[in-house]
Amino acid sequence: MSTSARTIGRLFLGSSLVFAGVSHLTFARDEFQAQVPESLPLDPDTTVLASGVVEIGLGTALLFAHGQRRLVGVIAALFFIAVFPGNVAQWMHHRDGFGLDTEIKRFARLFFQPVLVLLALWSTREPRR
């Protein structure tokens, strides 16, 4: 794949993370709380706010950190892995959020998380010479 395709993927992912982070802090706080596992020993709102701040930071780094791009990609991938239990909890506990109002929709969403992990790693990898 070309450098252009990787750049587009990285810019898309970075922009999406910034948007998601801002939505964590503002208009979608309640929706994101549906994804916080009950087993997490933190207040759901605190968890949503903290993850929003992390998403804004990761997204900004994907957009602007040139020298450490690969490291940022690895950290973003690890973040997507870390929040995956929230997606599983939303499915297992039948919690609606973001239009995920059926078992099929919540289950299907689980398969998008690995795509995000792969996109974070692929889009920040140096092209082969």
pLDDT in tens, 75-100: 999 999 999 999 999 999 999 988 89
Burial class from Cβ neighbours inside 10 Å (0-12, 13-18, 19+) for residue 33 reads: middle
Instruction: Judge whether 17 and 62 are in contact, CB under 8 Å.
Output: yes
Q: What's the pLDDT at 129?
A: 67
Q: How many Å apart are CA 19 and CA 21, to the nearest integer?
A: 5
Phi–psi pair at 26, nearest 5 degrees = -130, -105
Three-point CA angle 22, 48, 32, nearest 5°: 80
pTM value is: 0.92
Rounded percentage of the chain residues whose pLDDT exceeds 70: 98
pLDDT tens readout for residues 65-77: 988 999 999 999 9
